[in-house]
Chain A
Amino acid sequence: MSSSRLFKLQAGPAFRYLIPIFCVYAFTVLLPLLISIYYSVRNEGGTEFVGLQNYVALAKDNDFWFSLKNNVIIAFFCVVGQVGIAFLIASFFMTKLLKLEGLHRIAIFLPVVLAPIVTGYLWSLMYNYRLGMLNWLLDLVHIQPVLWLDNPKYVLYSVSVPLIWQYIGLYFIIFLAGMQNISKEVLEASEIDGATWFKKTAYVILPLLKNVMSVALILCITGTLKVFDHIYVMTGGGPGRSSMVMAQYAYNNAFTMSRLSYGSTISIGMLILCALIVLAMSRWIGGGGER
């Protein structure tokens, strides 16, 4: 196809420029990944080769599938919460009603730059049974205080909220950029045709944002499947295993239980499952577009 002289001349230098970054990538990502795979096929202590024994144990491990289930639930809430709310806010920004646009944008984006650990601590203070802000508010309206992080029935929702809160801003910025790329003519035409805000958003902006939306969805799902920091700080997977997620489970195995090879197996299992889920997602989104 494009075997022109010009292209060949450019490809060489381009690849050479990529060598340093590829080295960094290989050292920080590929190498640890390979080491992980190596650990996962050895016994604890790494003295002998055990083949797929660890993976068989993983497939039978009830706790692992339980944490995958938790991960999927959290991912669902985050897709609805982060992407959904971000889309709504971004479409409000497209109306002319909003004042002080810059201030709002900063306020919404600010949590994104916080370290996850900080967010976790902030929210565990808010959730605190005795001193927390949420129970104080409930007390004002004479409702019994709630055990936000101790009750296995709510804990999964409680830990999802900070995740949603923190990353709305990220998707908001992505959507806003996408919406500002939609040509003014199309939007004006729909307004002249008498479309309300809802109709304009649902029938004009949303279809035109399809590509942006699929990127946002993929980012959101991969992001929440590997969530760790928030949960580590707030509950550590507890109480019991109620808010256990895969990354926390891998961490517990490798570092608190001193089972490094099983911990590595969990991470590789996580990698495979996440790849499958994302592949299915991208097929599904891509398949919708061909109709």
Chain B
Amino acid sequence: MFTRNRKMQMLLIVLLIASIGLIGCGKNSSNGNGDGETSADKIKLTIGHFDVDENGALFRDALEEFRKEHPAVNLVEEAVPHDPYRVKMTTLGASGELPDLFVANGSMLIDYIPKGYVGTFNEALDQDPEWKNGFLPNSFDEFTTDGKIYGVPTAMFSVHVIYYNKELFEKAGIASFPKTWEEFTTAIHKLKDSGVTPIAMGNKSNVPVGSVLFGTLADRYTGTDWFKAMKEGKAKFTDPEFVNALKALQDLAKMGTFNPDINSIDGDQARTLYYNKQAAMMVDGAWAVTNISRDAPEDVQKATGLAILPAVPGGKGDPLSVAGGSGWSLAYNSKLTGAKKDAAIALIKKVSGQEYGRKKIENNGQPPVKVTDYDESKLSPLAVDYFKLMSDKKFSPIYDIQLSPALVEVIYKGLQDLLIGSATPEELSKKIQTVRDTQK
């Protein structure tokens, strides 16, 4: 009996190791971009991006054009949708197997720069002043460390816009979009009484609430100076301003502001609620202008107005600021040299120059470059409204782009806990600060 038990135990332990050992180590797959050497005379260039949906058609067209103009370059796309793209890039970043060119946000760059994975643009930008001066002011901020520029912005936009349905507002007895926080909460109650969901959001992946709503809400309370001080380690997440912002979000959730299934649906499903007039407001990034102009029923499109969060009582932030900025950039692998590097820079110029910017703006996009002569008639009415709304606004930091991935995950996952009421603002702020303390 004893020996049999021993055998059984040994067998089990071996089985266990076999089964569990696989989990932690899924990263050893080589992604096939290491062997991208020049085959004879063609230069092979890999590019990682997430412009796979209809919003990205313009980018893909530009890549196609680049292929025609540079027949000597064999451009290989490694494209996956946005959410898996972020996961994929963190994984590739952990193993150092990044593509030659890739779309990266500030948070990714914070991760890659100390590891020496990304090349700098200073030289290329200085050589081409026309290109350099075409960009909007501050558009390089998120991608610059110690004066070195590691990424060229692909767009510059606000990640926070409130899209609201004027008809539903009128039905609930609200004349115009609320100007103060008190009016805002009253409006939410009125909308609820009229039988619609006040705000529709889809937060399954954690990111939406944190990125498009909380970033701006927090800035209303803390002000951008607090954020800068926090990054330097002079301010803490346990400061009352930040805790108040968390409280405000939890209060909104308790009021029944959001659709009850907020944490189990994604952004597309939330947009559907808005399109079906089941929700009066939707908080989303500027990119939703394109989505609404394309997918929403005509009457909803016409009834849609744009706004931003009103000022909060006692808030230190500028009520005319919204979380936004360049967000995403194109970066290149520091391993590139010679002809490969030249081709990479040429491609990046192609998708960040004036010409591309003009096309982008005419497709209701938000380019990072100053575009002077575009055809306004090609824009959807919503896009015109958007540019009008943004004309007097300032950009405040986007949390998930300026902070390290670990901190972002803790904050955003914690926001879900707040929304369902399983954590208090004080507890959460302490937890966030603990993670902040483990970083230098």
Q: Could you tell me if B264 and A129 are in contact, using CB atoms closer than 8 angstroms?
A: yes
Chain A residues positioned under 8 Å from B416 (CB to CB): 238-240
Q: Is B114 an interface residue (CB 8 A)?
A: yes
Interface stretch among B18-26, B49-57, B65-73, B155-163?
Answer: B18-26
Interface string of A26-51 (1 = CB under 8 A from B): 00111011011000000001000000
Chain B residues positioned under 8 Å from A270 (CB to CB): 20, 23-24
Interface string of B22-46 (1 = CB under 8 A from A): 1111011000000000000000000
Chain A residues positioned under 8 Å from B260 (CB to CB): 129, 147, 150
Given B19, B90, B114, B420, which contacts A255 in the complex, CB threshold below 8 Å? B90
* CB neighbors of A among B402-425 (8 A): 404-406, 408-410, 413-414, 416-420, 422-423
Q: Is A279 an interface residue (CB 8 A)?
A: yes
CB distance from B287 to the nearest CB of A (A): 21
Interface stretch among B8-16, B174-182, B239-247, B353-361?
Answer: B8-16
Q: Could you tell me if B12 and A256 are in contact, using CB atoms closer than 8 angstroms?
A: no
Q: Could you tell me if B17 and A271 are in contact, using CB atoms closer than 8 angstroms?
A: yes
Q: Could you tell me if B21 and A29 are in contact, using CB atoms closer than 8 angstroms?
A: yes
Q: Could you tell me if B87 and A255 are in contact, using CB atoms closer than 8 angstroms?
A: yes
Interface string of A250-261 (1 = CB under 8 A from B): 101111111110
Q: Could you tell me if A241 and B417 are in contact, using CB atoms closer than 8 angstroms?
A: yes
CB distance from B81 to the nearest CB of A (A): 15
Chain A residues positioned under 8 Å from B13 (CB to CB): 275, 278-279
CA distance A32 to B19 in the complex (A): 12
Given A33, A254, A259, A279, which contacts B9 in the complex, CB threshold below 8 Å? A279
CB distance from A270 to the nearest CB of B (A): 6
Q: Is B91 an interface residue (CB 8 A)?
A: yes
Q: Is A166 an interface residue (CB 8 A)?
A: no
Chain B residues positioned under 8 Å from A260 (CB to CB): 27, 94
Q: Could you tell me if A30 and B204 are in contact, using CB atoms closer than 8 angstroms?
A: no
Q: Is B205 an interface residue (CB 8 A)?
A: yes
Q: Could you tell me if B24 and A239 are in contact, using CB atoms closer than 8 angstroms?
A: no
Known: A45-B114, A257-B409. A239 touches B23 (CB 8 A): no
Q: Is A201 an interface residue (CB 8 A)?
A: no
Q: Could you tell me if A271 and B115 are in contact, using CB atoms closer than 8 angstroms?
A: no
Known: A36-B21, A254-B24, A263-B24. A289 touches B1 (CB 8 A): yes
Interface string of A265-291 (1 = CB under 8 A from B): 011101100110011001000100110
Known: A32-B24, A263-B24, A286-B5. A236 touches B205 (CB 8 A): yes
Q: Could you tell me if B12 and A218 are in contact, using CB atoms closer than 8 angstroms?
A: yes
Q: Could you tell me if B23 and A247 are in contact, using CB atoms closer than 8 angstroms?
A: yes
Q: Could you tell me if A256 and B5 are in contact, using CB atoms closer than 8 angstroms?
A: no
Q: Could you tell me if A226 and B20 are in contact, using CB atoms closer than 8 angstroms?
A: yes
Q: Could you tell me if A150 and B264 are in contact, using CB atoms closer than 8 angstroms?
A: yes
Known: A152-B422, A239-B417, A240-B413. A254 touches B94 (CB 8 A): yes
Chain B residues positioned under 8 Å from A228 (CB to CB): 23
Q: Is B329 an interface residue (CB 8 A)?
A: no
Chain A residues positioned under 8 Å from B23 (CB to CB): 226, 228, 247, 250, 267, 270
Q: Could you tell me if B25 and A33 are in contact, using CB atoms closer than 8 angstroms?
A: yes
CA distance A252 to B435 in the complex (A): 15
Chain B residues positioned under 8 Å from A252 (CB to CB): 409, 413
Chain B residues positioned under 8 Å from A119 (CB to CB): none
Given B204, B406, B418, B420, which contacts A257 in the complex, CB threshold below 8 Å? B406
CA distance A226 to B8 in the complex (A): 20
The residue on B at minimum CB distance from A268 is B24
Q: Is A264 an interface residue (CB 8 A)?
A: yes
Known: A45-B114, A267-B23. A240 touches B420 (CB 8 A): yes
Chain B residues positioned under 8 Å from A290 (CB to CB): 1
Known: A239-B416, A282-B5. A250 touches B12 (CB 8 A): no
CA distance A150 to B264 in the complex (A): 6
CA distance A37 to B115 in the complex (A): 21
The residue on B at minimum CB distance from A147 is B260
Known: A258-B405, A278-B16, A290-B1. A264 touches B24 (CB 8 A): yes
CA distance A124 to B87 in the complex (A): 21
Q: Could you tell me if B93 and A258 are in contact, using CB atoms closer than 8 angstroms?
A: yes
CA distance A253 to B264 in the complex (A): 21
Q: Could you tell me if A282 and B16 are in contact, using CB atoms closer than 8 angstroms?
A: no
Q: Is B263 an interface residue (CB 8 A)?
A: yes
The residue on B at minimum CB distance from A223 is B19
Q: Is B262 an interface residue (CB 8 A)?
A: yes
Q: Could you tell me if A239 and B419 are in contact, using CB atoms closer than 8 angstroms?
A: yes
Q: Could you tell me if B20 and A259 are in contact, using CB atoms closer than 8 angstroms?
A: no
Chain B residues positioned under 8 Å from A266 (CB to CB): 24
Given B15, B20, B417, which contacts A267 in the complex, CB threshold below 8 Å? B20
Q: Is A235 an interface residue (CB 8 A)?
A: yes
Q: Could you tell me if A275 and B261 are in contact, using CB atoms closer than 8 angstroms?
A: no
Known: A242-B422, A259-B406. A150 touches B19 (CB 8 A): no
Q: Is A199 an interface residue (CB 8 A)?
A: no
Chain B residues positioned under 8 Å from A127 (CB to CB): 264
CB distance from B207 to the nearest CB of A (A): 10
Q: Could you tell me if B21 and A239 are in contact, using CB atoms closer than 8 angstroms?
A: no
Q: Could you tell me if B17 and A33 are in contact, using CB atoms closer than 8 angstroms?
A: yes
Chain B residues positioned under 8 Å from A241 (CB to CB): 413, 417
Q: Could you tell me if A238 and B17 are in contact, using CB atoms closer than 8 angstroms?
A: no
Q: Could you tell me if A235 and B111 are in contact, using CB atoms closer than 8 angstroms?
A: no
CA distance A226 to B90 in the complex (A): 23
CA distance A252 to B409 in the complex (A): 8
Q: Could you tell me if B261 and A147 are in contact, using CB atoms closer than 8 angstroms?
A: yes
Q: Could you tell me if A33 and B264 are in contact, using CB atoms closer than 8 angstroms?
A: no
Interface string of A220-240 (1 = CB under 8 A from B): 001100101000000111111
Q: Could you tell me if B25 and A32 are in contact, using CB atoms closer than 8 angstroms?
A: yes
The residue on B at minimum CB distance from A259 is B406
Given A28, A152, A237, which contacts B420 in the complex, CB threshold below 8 Å? A152
Listed residue (A28, A127, A253) with the most chain B CB atoms within 10 angstroms of its CB:
A28
Listed residue (B9, B17, B21) with the most chain A CB atoms within 10 angstroms of its CB:
B21
Chain B residues positioned under 8 Å from A240 (CB to CB): 263, 413-414, 416-420, 422-423
Residue contacts A-B, CB under 8 angstroms, 21 given: A29-B18, A30-B17, A33-B25, A35-B25, A36-B25, A128-B265, A129-B261, A129-B264, A148-B264, A151-B420, A218-B12, A226-B19, A235-B264, A237-B413, A240-B263, A252-B413, A254-B27, A256-B87, A258-B111, A271-B16, A282-B9
Chain A contact residues, CB within 8 Å of chain B: 25, 28-30, 32-33, 35-36, 45, 124, 127-130, 147-152, 218, 222-223, 226, 228, 235-242, 247, 250, 252-260, 263-264, 266-268, 270-271, 274-275, 278-279, 282, 286, 289-290
**Given A266-B24, A286-B1, 4 further pairs, Cβ under 8 A:** A32-B22, A236-B206, A247-B23, A260-B94
